[in-house]
Amino acid sequence: MNPIKISNPSIVTANHLTDMLSRQNSQQSLSSPSSEDSSDDISKDIVSDSDERFYEGTEKLLEIWFGRSDNCTDNCDLRKIQRPAWDALLKFAQCEIISFRRTESIDGYVLSESAMFISKDRFIIKTCGQTTLLRCIEPLLYLVREIAGFDEILDVFYSRKSFMRPDLQDKTHSRFDNEIETLDSVFEVGSAYCLGRVNRDCWYLYTLHPEKGVTVPDQTLELIMVDLDEEVMSIFTRATSETARDATIKSGIDKIFPGMVIDDYLFTPCGYSMNGYIKSGHYVTIHITPEVDFSYVSFETNAPQASYLELIQKIIRMFVPGKFIMTIFANEASVAFNNSYEYKSSSFNDYRREELQFCRFKNYELTFGTFAREPS
């Protein structure tokens, strides 16, 4: 499959973005956003249902890689898209920026619902709650073509765990079939998968199978944790921690990677988000919904490692989940590629392996596992 051309946007999309682009142009002569840009205190929206407070921690994750048909990408860069345009784009997904941090290789944003990372040719957004993530794809492609200068999509990854309360999601996201329909309307030649037990916790994936694809080393580890230790979760509440920094230190998050630059945020009355920037130029992101009845933690990093076993063990010791899903993506250029044999024979202390599946795509391999804590 050849790379997908970024087509002309629909009239509706273009009209919606007219104001966005005018604000974008007015910012070109201004300096870049401050390296630390936090809004006033933000409270997570809680959906009231049968007198019970509920928040959907489960995240929708979208990653898109871009290129040019003529391979001339020297003047192309997603980071040319300025803050007003991102602010407008995120309105399509129903979330907003609360903090910004720039490194040499990544512009990172803590969002009201999770995170967004922008590098030269890769866009990553992760949103929880009742966000409408897929609505931002067409506006994004418009900005990518008009401002960043790319005209091809090299690869796409959209994934999520099954929702705790799919009935509370927007229709587009209430069923994976609906998400597939939306994604197919944009990308046309994508493929959809479901891993794990369909009648239990499962994990959905939509991706492409391009001939060219991403040629630079690329890998991603994601851990999706539920039914977490109540004492650990209490750290991520205003009742226990006064600031985000307090929660970061008490939990040990600051020690995951030595020298990691941390941009963290503690919500009111509870909830926590963190973006971390490693010296190697890679990212870490953690998002926590600590309420006992629907506790949820996600951990994600693209730090390259031949084996993630030690890191996974460190994270599950930190948060003590009742259950967790592990996904590891790696392309052929990555040091993490072709290491699935490690996970066939390995286990994690106090956890039994329930599922272990391996997939080989055109340019990537995927290791998927589900684990549950052994009864004490």
What ranges do the domains of the chain cover?
1-24+54-213, 215-376
Rounded to an integer, what distance in angstroms lies between the CA atom of residue 121 and that of residue 193?
25
SS3 for 318?
A: helix
Rounded to an integer, what distance in angstroms lies between the CA atom of residue 105 and that of residue 121?
10
Flag whether pLDDT at 157 surpasses 80.
yes
Is residue 59 part of the annotated active site? The answer reads yes
Flag whether pLDDT at 48 surpasses 50.
no
Flag whether pLDDT at 95 surpasses 90.
yes
Catalytic one of 59, 152, 300, 355: 59
Fold of 215-376: S-adenosylmethionine decarboxylase (3.60.90)
**Share of the chain residues as helix, strand and coil, in percent rounded to the nearest 5:** 25, 35, 40
Residue 181 contacts by C-beta under 8 Å, 6 or more apart in sequence? Answer: none
Largest CA distance in the chain: 61
- The confidence score (pLDDT) of residue 212 equals 81
Is residue 300 part of the annotated active site? The answer reads no
Flag whether pLDDT at 31 surpasses 50.
no
Is residue 136 part of the annotated active site? The answer reads no
- The confidence score (pLDDT) of residue 4 equals 78
- Mean predicted confidence (pLDDT) in 273-289: 97
- Mean predicted confidence (pLDDT) in 55-70: 96
Is residue 72 part of the annotated active site? The answer reads no
3-state SS track over 119-173 = CCCEEEEEECCCCCHHHHHHHHHHHHHHHHCCCEEEEEEEEEECCCCHHHCCHHH
Residue 2 CB burial class (10 angstroms; 0-12, 13-18, ≥19): exposed
Catalytic one of 114, 241, 251, 295: 114
- The confidence score (pLDDT) of residue 28 equals 44
Query: How far apart, in Å, are the Cα atoms of 165 and each of 59, 162, 299?
Result: 12, 9, 21
- The confidence score (pLDDT) of residue 194 equals 97
Query: Phi/psi of residue 102, each to 5°?
Result: -110, 135
Catalytic one of 99, 159, 273, 334: 273
Helix (H), strand (E) at residue 248:
helix 244-251
Reported pTM: 0.90
Buried b (16+ CB within 10 A) or exposed e, 279-291: eeebbbbbbbbbb
Query: Phi/psi of residue 325, each to 5°?
Result: -110, 135
- The confidence score (pLDDT) of residue 376 equals 73
Closest CA to 316 of 352, 292, 342: 352
49 confidence band (pLDDT: 50, 70, 90) = very low
- Mean predicted confidence (pLDDT) in 217-240: 98
Is residue 152 part of the annotated active site? The answer reads no
- Mean predicted confidence (pLDDT) in 314-330: 97
Is residue 334 part of the annotated active site? The answer reads no
- The confidence score (pLDDT) of residue 1 equals 64
8 confidence band (pLDDT: 50, 70, 90) = low
- The confidence score (pLDDT) of residue 9 equals 56
Dig out the tokens for 248 from the structure: 């970061």
Neighbours of 174 (CB within 10 A): 15
Residue 80 CB burial class (10 angstroms; 0-12, 13-18, ≥19): middle
* Residue pair 4/15 in contact by the 8 Å Cβ criterion: no
CATH of 1-24+54-213, one of 3.30.420.40, 3.40.50.10420, 2.30.110.10, 3.60.90.10: 3.60.90.10
For the chain, give the percent of residues with pLDDT over 90. 78
Helix (H), strand (E) at residue 93:
helix 83-93
Flag whether pLDDT at 160 surpasses 50.
yes
Flag whether pLDDT at 242 surpasses 80.
yes
34 confidence band (pLDDT: 50, 70, 90) = very low
Rounded to an integer, what distance in angstroms lies between the CA atom of residue 257 and that of residue 199?
36
Query: Phi/psi of residue 173, each to 5°?
Result: -105, 0
- Mean predicted confidence (pLDDT) in 109-123: 98
Rounded to an integer, what distance in angstroms lies between the CA atom of residue 178 and that of residue 138?
16
Q: Taking all residues of the chain, what is their mean pLDDT, rounded to a whole number?
A: 89
Residue 113 contacts by C-beta under 8 Å, 6 or more apart in sequence? Answer: 94, 95, 127, 128, 129, 131
The reply to whether 1-24+54-213 and 215-376 are identical in fold is yes
For the chain, give the percent of residues with pLDDT over 70. 87
Pairing of β 321-331 and β 351-360:
unpaired
Rounded to an integer, what distance in angstroms lies between the CA atom of residue 322 and that of residue 333?
34
- Mean predicted confidence (pLDDT) in 107-130: 97
- The confidence score (pLDDT) of residue 339 equals 85
- Mean predicted confidence (pLDDT) in 138-148: 96
- Mean predicted confidence (pLDDT) in 39-49: 46
- The confidence score (pLDDT) of residue 29 equals 44
Catalytic one of 76, 128, 136, 202: 128
- The confidence score (pLDDT) of residue 200 equals 83
Flag whether pLDDT at 251 surpasses 60.
yes
Catalytic one of 56, 63, 113, 355: 56
18 confidence band (pLDDT: 50, 70, 90) = low
Flag whether pLDDT at 47 surpasses 80.
no
Catalytic one of 95, 173, 287, 298: 287
pLDDT in tens, 164-202: 999 999 999 999 999 999 999 999 889 999 999 998 889
- The confidence score (pLDDT) of residue 345 equals 78
Closest CA to 316 of 373, 261, 260: 373
